[in-house]
Structure 1
Amino acid sequence: MTALSRGARALFLLGAAVFFGLPLLWLLLAPTRTADDLTTGSPLGFGALGNVGDAWSHLMSYNDGEITLWIGNSVIYAAASVVLALLLCVPAGYALAKHDFAGRRALLTLSIVTMILPPAALVLPLYLEMSAVGLTGTVWAVILPLSFYPFGVYLAFLHFQANLPDSLLDAGRVDGASELRLFWSVGLPLARPAIALIAFFGFVRCWTDFFLPFVMLSDDRTFTLQLGLMSLLQSTGAVNNSSGFADLDIHQSEAALAGLVACAPLMIGFVLAQRFLRTGLLAGAEKG
């Protein structure tokens, strides 16, 4: 690699770091400053840690601390959806990878096609389906659709196909193991990296989803954190000074802190699952 190409690469990486890093740095620093500091001082200045506590107390003043309810709702929705998705995706991926049955190719093709469809295109059919069984406005109207995760099925299929030899399963069958025992004792232990990968991506998908809860839920007591923050920001002075609730002391500092609260579980989850994610992404990439 020539000096010119190395310099060009370094310049590109520096530009990308600045472009993507500055907004994150502002988000981290904004809760330490007051609303006046944000409008008059340096955009990247540091205020005082005490301002973070003040910003949180201001957020808690909205509807008697409803933000904590939204956080709890998001945790429940995401955890239940991920558990159900794993219960569906891992056995489905195993069956598609290791069993030949009528309709197998059609199911695999359908999973891939559904996986590439825009999520917004499925919201209306899902709403009509939930409405037909009387589940709109309930937690199940969010949990059940989010548990349908074709990408997770495809990840499990790829993992089992690449990392679970048929000869290993045949040896178990010769020893008299049932298909359920083979899946539980042989398939699942080898699929831990894939399970971690599916769980992480499924959690990110559930935690960040906005449009589905927006369509399915009407009571703000059942809102997710993403949906609740939209309601908070629209009805306070954080982005709309002419709002009817603009007298609440919720401005840009509080909005930045709310954004950090929404991002924190994703960052913590990524740090905790990093080793499993790396293993899951590389599994099957090299054979022999």
Structure 2
Amino acid sequence: MPNDIRPQPVTRSATVFGEPATTAGPGTPPRSLRRLRNAPRRPVPRLLTGALLTLFVVFFVLPVIWLILAATKTDDQLVHGNPLAFGSWHALRANWDALTGFQNDAIMLWLRNSALYSGIALVITLCVAVPAGYALAMTEFRGRHTLLVATLVVMLMPNATLVVPLFLEVNAVHLIGSMWSIILPYSFYPFGVYLTYIYFSTTLPKDLLAAARIDGCSEFGVFRHIALPLATPVVALVGFFSFVANWTNYFLPYVMLPETNQMPVQVGLGTLLDSVPSFNPTVGAVAVQRPELALATLLAIIPVLAVFVFSQRFLIAGMLAGATKD
């Protein structure tokens, strides 16, 4: 019998990037591609990433670290000492006592006012913005396009440009000096309406809503039992942005609330700044030092940071909602 002759692999020539490459079989990549795979990576992207991270640390992280450490120092240590050195727990305690003693613990009153204004406005915002975004996304009615364009225009306008019209409106209904002069303008949040509109129009399955309507569910029932449970991420996102915008608003409360005991903490920080002798040489006996001002700033930041930490999981889901589709 003839010897067992096995078929030999057939080699063929190919051209890869302008030069011939020989393959030993169907599973072997061309020689030029192997060289490209084994070539060392250039360090330029890594160096660029490191430079960008360094700039981020310098411009954003270091000021926050300085602010935290400033609350632990005396005024002399803050000016002449190492800016990134820890002061002492005794100085921190003294700064706390001096801050809480300013105008009979006014800082805590301002924090409570901010929490009250922002909390009530947040509830009204969610009750208004989420149904409004759902209606714009899922229903057709006359004037829908005009209303959507008006929402976008108001959303893009700076907040300072709306203070005078809002003041005239609130003054016409005799609410100047009351907490509702702050809460009502806070409550109607155009960015929240637009955000929920984008979420419902891109993420919510319309076939599911149509099936619920066929089964006899009313439009309000569709929104309550189907759309709203699926919109938990965007509700958390709107709530967070609304709370931060309300908490950090300065100009509107400054115009609407003339009394010191009605101020939110952002306006109160302006009062503390005016009481620092380094910034206002005309300050009398009641003065605030710079470490105390730094401590008050930290107290104003902590509530927003706490809300962000507790709602982080929902915030990430809300920001990624609508980015991909199955």
- TM-score, scaled relative to structure 1: 0.96
Equivalent residue runs for 1:1-288 within 5 Å: 2-237=42-277, 239-245=279-285, 247-248=286-287, 250-288=288-326
Please give the per-residue CA displacement for 1:47-101, whole angstroms capped at 9, x wherever unaligned.
1123222111101111111111100000000001111111100000000010001
Q: Which amino acid aligns with 1:280?
A: G
Distance 1:238 1:64, change over 3 A: farther
Q: Which amino acid aligns with 1:175?
A: D
In 2, the alpha carbon distance for the partners of 1:265 and 1:2 equals: 44
Mapped contact 2:136–2:144 kept (Cα < 8 A): yes
Which one is further off, 88-97 or 224-233? 224-233
Structure 2 gap segments, 5+ residues each: 1-40
Mapped contact 1:236–1:244 kept (Cα < 8 A): no
How far apart are residue 269 of structure 1 and its match? 1.2
List 4+ stretches of structure 1 deviating above 4 A. none
Mapped contact 1:70–1:223 kept (Cα < 8 A): yes
Mapped contact 1:31–1:257 kept (Cα < 8 A): yes
Mapped contact 1:239–1:251 kept (Cα < 8 A): no
Mapped contact 1:238–1:254 kept (Cα < 8 A): no
How far apart are residue 238 of structure 1 and its match? 6.0
Q: Which amino acid aligns with 1:35?
A: D
Please give the per-residue CA displacement for 1:111-149, whole angstroms capped at 9, x wherever unaligned.
111100111111100000000000011100000001111
Which one is further off, 36-45 or 274-283? 36-45
In 2, the alpha carbon distance for the partners of 1:236 and 1:59 equals: 12
In 2, the alpha carbon distance for the partners of 1:237 and 1:93 equals: 49
Number of residue pairs matched by the alignment? 286
Root-mean-square deviation (Å): 1.2
Aligned residue for 1:56, secondary structure, equals helix
In 1, the alpha carbon distance for the partners of 2:92 and 2:281 equals: 22
- TM-score, scaled relative to structure 2: 0.85
Mapped contact 1:239–1:252 kept (Cα < 8 A): no
Relative contact order (alpha carbons < 8 A, sep ≥ 6): 1 or 2 greater? 1
Mapped contact 2:233–2:317 kept (Cα < 8 A): yes
Which one is further off, 145-154 or 5-14? 5-14
Mapped contact 2:276–2:290 kept (Cα < 8 A): no
In 2, the alpha carbon distance for the partners of 1:165 and 1:109 equals: 24
In 2, the alpha carbon distance for the partners of 1:16 and 1:70 equals: 32
In 1, the alpha carbon distance for the partners of 2:49 and 2:269 equals: 39
Q: Quick check: which one's helix share is greater?
A: 1
Aligned residue for 2:71, secondary structure, equals helix
In 2, the alpha carbon distance for the partners of 1:102 and 1:176 equals: 25
2:22 corresponding residue in structure 1 = none
How far apart are residue 2 of structure 1 and its match? 2.2
2:20 corresponding residue in structure 1 = none
Larger Cα-atom Rg: 2
How far apart are residue 271 of structure 1 and its match? 1.1
In 2, the alpha carbon distance for the partners of 1:144 and 1:127 equals: 12
Structure 1 gap segments, 5+ residues each: none
